Structure 1
């Protein structure tokens, strides 16, 4: 195979964006995600419906805004991963312009619950997590990455914990066990899922007082931006204009043919494995006969 057949010039297959918005309750993640979708939809001149997979029954509050912006929106209330996979197919085929999953956290929790029920588990062990996390990666993450289209999902926030060091005496004996303390925050979902996106935003809110009156402020922290246009920035009361640079970047990418993965299965089947073992035994037997 020649090099120009193996690889192509560095281009983009298409112009699309994948983004995630995480945060605690009341942080404005759904509203900000909606603002992002509307702005990107208009700037990218899209014309197919926006499909919303809703498990918070909150999409009804977006009806006036979608109508105002003259964007067709269709919705399905679900917590099923199978429905997410079907939605990926609709997006890949071009039947919809945008997929909005609100919240992905509940779909992940349902996936865990189904696993527990199928395996009659009351509690998840380390062995169970060792099985379910690779399965989630295969059933969601890989399909998410492979789908070529605009996807936005939201996720509930949770705290990360670290264990403090144990207090020991001069002989090395533990006199007081270290407690678990909050060390950070993350989206309540499997491992690196939020970072599979091109844009990862963490939403936060603060209740403050101005002029003797309570005021709520909303913040967007850019945890990841593959274009590096707004990476690491913090926006107060974020709107689409704050995220526009990453859409500008994507629209400026050249579109062309992308070299695909070389096909071929190098993993031996059970039959091939046993045939190899048989041939190995025959060769060993002949060698022994020759030596004798």
Structure 2
């Protein structure tokens, strides 16, 4: 099977992320996009336009946006939960029965998973370094499903500041803000194809003071609106990204069915590690075989051993032979076995003596 094939756009579903602090308009904007997306699918006659929007709600936001869905004539189905296992189930149900999945807020699922793990494991002083491997592996079950699901999905997440240390003129290191990230597992923000930062803006110099929300597109893989800002954004502002999608086509995120089984043995040991050990054994067996037939330290014995090595490896240098891979050493070992023992190389497990093939030399002596 060939690995590469002719490129085509296989991004058929919207995978968006919206983050912001409290009151920045995450839920409102996500609702705007969800309603606009369903209406867009209806206008285009695309599959899913006649299905409901599914709202996975961790902070009662669905109660406040329900009137907007009612006004648009779009059924809204809600599940209020913060259990990580429900997050995976929600994607399956939305893929089968819904037109769109809105998750608000993804941050609760991550913190809830971490908190419950710490409680069940008795981590009274916080999670340990070894705990993160399991947590990240479990979380990857969701991100893989998110990227590959046949469903339009928006992740709303709380924003948090990123910090780093910088050395000041006085030589002291100061902790400073360096950016904003979504409060979830560290790599979650990389998964959406479009990532939006919502921020609340205020102008108190006017009477009355004005308040509005600004959307900044931090990432747009289509590059159509990458880096752009929209005041009180609407669905139309994000339409250039959506029109880039292969709506109604076949969706293919990342092939997660392929693995690296060929790199491991059945017991999970890395194959390179086992081959290195097997090469060391093969070299040791070659040494013992040469000593068996050409033992001693005489010049004749040394010459005979060198001749055998040159016959099998095309070199008399043992240091060079040690650089060969296991396949080359194994082939040479078999050649030496045939030359000196008169049979193919064999190793029989202890207790299975009936499978052992007597060397030709021993057969000749018995005759």
TM-score (norm 2): 0.68
Of 69, 73, 82, which aligns to 2:72? 69
Q: Is residue 223 of structure 1 aligned with residue 218 of structure 2?
A: yes
Give the C-alpha shift of residue 9 in structure 1. 3.3
- Measured in 2, the distance between the counterparts of 1:151 and 1:27 equals 20
- Measured in 2, the distance between the counterparts of 1:203 and 1:226 equals 18
Where does residue 287 of structure 1 map in the other structure? 286
Where does residue 138 of structure 1 map in the other structure? 140
Of 80, 88, 93, which aligns to 2:83? 80
Of 225, 229, 250, which aligns to 2:245? 250
- Measured in 2, the distance between the counterparts of 1:260 and 1:206 equals 42
CA contact (8 A) 2:15 2:147 kept: no
Of 170, 177, 181, which aligns to 1:182? 177
For the aligned residue pairs, the C-alpha RMSD in angstroms reads 2.9
Give the C-alpha shift of residue 11 in structure 1. 2.6
Map residues 1-292 of structure 1 onto 2, 5 A cutoff: 1=1, 3=2, 6-13=3-10, 15-45=12-42, 46-92=49-95, 94-124=96-126, 127-128=129-130, 130-132=132-134, 134-165=136-167, 177-251=172-246, 255=249, 263=258, 265-266=261-262, 267-270=264-267, 283-284=282-283, 286-292=285-291
Structure 1 segments, 4+ long, off by >4 Å, are 256-264, 271-282
Higher-Rg member (1/2)? 2
Where does residue 172 of structure 1 map in the other structure? none
CA contact (8 A) 2:136 2:185 kept: no
Aligned residues: 280
Give the C-alpha shift of residue 192 in structure 1. 2.4
CA deviations over 1:191-231 (Å, ceiling 9, x no partner): 22122111100000122125332111210000011111111
- Measured in 1, the distance between the counterparts of 2:268 and 2:28 equals 55
Say if 1:41 and 1:162 are closer, same or farther in 2 by CA, change over 3 A: same
Say if 1:187 and 1:257 are closer, same or farther in 2 by CA, change over 3 A: closer
- Measured in 2, the distance between the counterparts of 1:125 and 1:145 equals 28
CA contact (8 A) 1:8 1:257 kept: no
CA contact (8 A) 2:88 2:142 kept: yes
Q: Which has the higher strand share?
A: 1
Say if 1:114 and 1:47 are closer, same or farther in 2 by CA, change over 3 A: same
Unaligned runs of 5+ in 2: 43-48, 292-367
- Measured in 1, the distance between the counterparts of 2:217 and 2:122 equals 40
Where does residue 338 of structure 2 map in the other structure? none
- Measured in 2, the distance between the counterparts of 1:225 and 1:219 equals 16
- Measured in 1, the distance between the counterparts of 2:178 and 2:199 equals 16
CA deviations over 1:34-60 (Å, ceiling 9, x no partner): 001100111022111211111101211
TM-score (norm 1): 0.84
Q: Which has the higher helix share?
A: 2
Q: Helix, strand or coil for the counterpart of 1:213?
A: coil
